[in-house]
Structure 1
Amino acid sequence: MLLFIQVDAPQVCLIKMAPLKVLGALLGMGVLPSVLAKLVKFEANVTWAKGAPDGNLREMVFVNGQFPAPALTLDQWDDVEFTVNNMMHHNLTIHFHGIEQIGTPWSDGVPGLTQKPILPGETFTYKWTATDYGTYWYHSHARSLMADGLYGPIWINPAPHTPEPFHLISRNPRDVAAMRKADRNPKLITLSDWSHFTSEEYQKIMEETGIDLFCVDTILINGRGAVQCPGVDFINSLQTEYLKASIDYLPLTDKGCYPDIYKTQGDFYKDVSKLPPGLESGCIPTAGTHEVIEVDPRDEWASLKFISATWLKYLMASVDEHPMWIYEVDGHYIEPQLAHSFVIYNGERYSAMIKLDKKPKDYTIRIPDTNADQIIAGSATLRYKGGKTGVEESKPYVNYAGMNTSADVIALNESILAPYPNIPIQTAADQMINLTLGRRESSYEWTLEGEQLYDVMANYDDPLLYNVSARANLADKVTVATKNGTWVDLLIQIGLMPHTPPIQAPHVIHKHSNKAFIIGEGPGFFNWTSVEEAAAERPELFEFEKPRLRDTFLSLGLTGPAWMMVRYQVVNPGPFLIHCHIETHLFNGMGIALLDGIDQWPEVPPEYAI
Structure 2
Amino acid sequence: MFLINGQFPGPLIECNKGDTLVINVKNELDEDTTIHSHGMFQRGTPWYDGVPGQTQCGIPSKSSFTYKFKVEQSGTYWYHSHSRTQYIEGIVGPLIIHEPNDPYKNECDEEIIVLLQDWYHTDAKTLLATFLSPDSQGNEPLPDNGLINGHNSFNCSSAPEGSDCVSNAPLAQFKFVKGKKYKLRIINASAFAAFIFSIDGHSMDVVEVEGMITKRHTVHRLPINVAQRYSVIVTADQPIDQYFMRAEMETACFPTQSDVLNPLIKAVVTYDTYKCSTDQAPSSTAWSDDVENCVDLKASDLKPYKDQKIPNPTKTFTLEIDFRPDENGVVLAYINNSSYKIDTDNPTIIKVYNGVKQFAPDQNVFMIEKNEIVDIVLINTDGGEHPFHFHGHTFWCLGSGESGTQPDYNSLNTKDPIQRDTATVPANGWIVIRFVSNNAGVWGFHCHIEWHVASGLVAQFVTQPDQIKRLNPPDEWKTLCPNSFNSNNSSNSSKGSKGPKSYKSLNGSNGFTNSPNNSHNEKSKKFKKPF
Where on the TM-score scale, by shorter chain, does this alignment land: which range? 0.7 to 0.9
Cα distance change, pair 149–102 in 1 and its aligned pair in 2 (3 A): same
1:109 Cα deviation from its structure 2 partner: 0.3
Q: What per-residue deviation string (whole Å, max 9, x for no partner) do you get for residues 478-508 of structure 1?
A: 000002321111111113xxxxxx5x12111
Partner Cα separation in structure 1 for residue 187 and residue 357 of structure 2 = 33
Which amino acid is 1:579 matched to?
H
Q: Which of 12, 22, 25 matches 1:84?
A: 25
Q: Which of 149, 161, 176 matches 1:295?
A: 176
Which amino acid is 1:94 matched to?
I
What SS does structure 2 have at the residue aligned with 1:302?
Answer: strand
Partner Cα separation in structure 2 for residue 553 and residue 415 of structure 1 = 14
Q: Which residue of 2 aligns with 1:432?
A: 316
Cα distance change, pair 116–392 in 1 and its aligned pair in 2 (3 A): closer
Q: Which of 469, 474, 477 matches 1:606?
A: 474
Task: Choose between structure 1 and 2 for higher RCO, CA contacts under 8 A separated by at least 6 residues.
Answer: 2
Partners of 1:340 and 1:397 within 8 A in 2: no
Partners of 1:362 and 1:388 within 8 A in 2: no
Q: Which residue of 2 aligns with 1:101?
A: 42
1:404 Cα deviation from its structure 2 partner: 4.4
Q: Which of 376, 390, 398 matches 1:519?
A: 398
1:100 Cα deviation from its structure 2 partner: 1.2
1:510 has 2:397 as partner: no
1:357 Cα deviation from its structure 2 partner: 1.4
Partner Cα separation in structure 2 for residue 123 and residue 563 of structure 1 = 42
Partners of 2:375 and 2:433 within 8 A in 1: yes
Aligned pairs (5 A) from 1:197-212: 197-208=122-133, 209-211=135-137, 212=139
Cα distance change, pair 424–283 in 1 and its aligned pair in 2 (3 A): farther
Q: Which residue of 1 aligns with 2:333?
A: 447
Partner Cα separation in structure 2 for residue 341 and residue 527 of structure 1 = 29
1:467 has 2:467 as partner: no
1:421 has 2:306 as partner: yes
Which amino acid is 2:33 matched to?
L
Which amino acid is 1:609 matched to?
K
1:438 Cα deviation from its structure 2 partner: 1.6
Q: Which of 64, 82, 87 matches 1:141?
A: 82
Cα distance change, pair 361–444 in 1 and its aligned pair in 2 (3 A): farther
Partners of 2:116 and 2:186 within 8 A in 1: yes
Q: Which residue of 1 aligns with 2:63?
A: 122
Cα distance change, pair 228–422 in 1 and its aligned pair in 2 (3 A): farther
1:207 Cα deviation from its structure 2 partner: 3.2
Q: What per-residue deviation string (whole Å, max 9, x for no partner) do you get for residues 286-345 of structure 1?
A: 3333210112235x2111111000001111110010011111111221111111101110
Q: Which residue of 2 aligns with 1:387?
A: 274
Partner Cα separation in structure 1 for residue 406 and residue 221 of structure 2 = 35
1:351 has 2:351 as partner: no
Cα distance change, pair 337–447 in 1 and its aligned pair in 2 (3 A): same
Partner Cα separation in structure 2 for residue 330 and residue 520 of structure 1 = 18
Which amino acid is 2:153 matched to?
A
Q: Which residue of 2 aligns with 1:34?
A: none
Partners of 1:487 and 1:567 within 8 A in 2: yes
1:550 Cα deviation from its structure 2 partner: 1.0
Partners of 2:341 and 2:362 within 8 A in 1: no
Q: What per-residue deviation string (whole Å, max 9, x for no partner) do you get for residues 102-122 of structure 1?
A: 111011000111111011011
1:412 Cα deviation from its structure 2 partner: 5.3
Q: What per-residue deviation string (whole Å, max 9, x for no partner) do you get for residues 384-428 of structure 1?
A: 222234467343334xxxx7489xxxx95444312211222102x
What SS does structure 2 have at the residue aligned with 1:147?
Answer: helix
Q: Which of 535, 546, 562 matches 2:429?
A: 562
1:527 Cα deviation from its structure 2 partner: 6.5
**Structure 1 residue runs without a partner (length 5+):** 1-59, 167-175, 232-253, 256-276, 496-501, 529-533
Which amino acid is 2:130 matched to?
I
What SS does structure 2 have at the residue aligned with 1:357?
Answer: coil
Partner Cα separation in structure 2 for residue 604 and residue 116 of structure 1 = 17
Which amino acid is 1:475 matched to?
P
Aligned pairs (5 A) from 1:535-574: 535=409, 539=410, 541-557=411-427, 561-574=428-441
Partner Cα separation in structure 2 for residue 491 and residue 581 of structure 1 = 17
Q: What per-residue deviation string (whole Å, max 9, x for no partner) do you get for residues 342-370 of structure 1?
A: 11100000111111111222211011111
What SS does structure 2 have at the residue aligned with 1:307?
Answer: strand
Q: Which of 272, 285, 298 matches 1:396?
A: 285
Cα distance change, pair 321–76 in 1 and its aligned pair in 2 (3 A): same
1:440 Cα deviation from its structure 2 partner: 2.9
Count of residue correspondences: 457
Partner Cα separation in structure 2 for residue 414 and residue 189 of structure 1 = 22
Q: What per-residue deviation string (whole Å, max 9, x for no partner) do you get for residues 13-55 of structure 1?
A: xxxxxxxxxxxxxxxxxxxxxxxxxxxxxxxxxxxxxxxxxxx
Aligned pairs (5 A) from 1:115-514: 115-159=56-100, 161-162=101-102, 164=103, 166=104, 177=106, 179=107, 181-182=108-109, 185-208=110-133, 209-211=135-137, 212-228=139-155, 286-297=167-178, 300-372=180-252, 373=254, 374=257, 376-389=263-276, 390=278, 393-398=282-287, 404=289, 413-427=298-312, 429-441=313-325, 445-456=331-342, 458=343, 460-468=344-352, 474-475=360-361, 478-495=364-381, 504-514=383-393
Partner Cα separation in structure 1 for residue 285 and residue 334 of structure 2 = 38
Partners of 2:378 and 2:432 within 8 A in 1: yes
Partners of 2:131 and 2:141 within 8 A in 1: no
Partners of 2:27 and 2:60 within 8 A in 1: yes
What SS does structure 1 have at the residue aligned with 2:67?
Answer: strand
Partners of 1:479 and 1:595 within 8 A in 2: yes
**Structure 2 residue runs without a partner (length 5+):** 480-531
Partner Cα separation in structure 2 for residue 222 and residue 286 of structure 1 = 19
Partners of 2:299 and 2:418 within 8 A in 1: no
Cα distance change, pair 598–362 in 1 and its aligned pair in 2 (3 A): same
Cα distance change, pair 118–331 in 1 and its aligned pair in 2 (3 A): same
RMSD: 2.6
Partners of 1:116 and 1:461 within 8 A in 2: yes
Q: Which residue of 2 aligns with 1:73?
A: 14
Partners of 1:493 and 1:525 within 8 A in 2: no
1:198 Cα deviation from its structure 2 partner: 1.4
Partner Cα separation in structure 1 for residue 348 and residue 472 of structure 2 = 11
What SS does structure 2 have at the residue aligned with 1:146?
Answer: helix
Partner Cα separation in structure 2 for residue 446 and residue 547 of structure 1 = 33
What SS does structure 1 have at the residue aligned with 2:251?
Answer: coil
1:471 Cα deviation from its structure 2 partner: 7.7
The percent identity for this pair of structures is 26
Partner Cα separation in structure 2 for residue 332 and residue 80 of structure 1 = 20
Partner Cα separation in structure 2 for residue 139 and residue 470 of structure 1 = 29
Q: Which residue of 2 aligns with 1:593?
A: 460
Partners of 1:463 and 1:470 within 8 A in 2: no
TM-score by length of 2: 0.80
Partners of 1:364 and 1:382 within 8 A in 2: yes
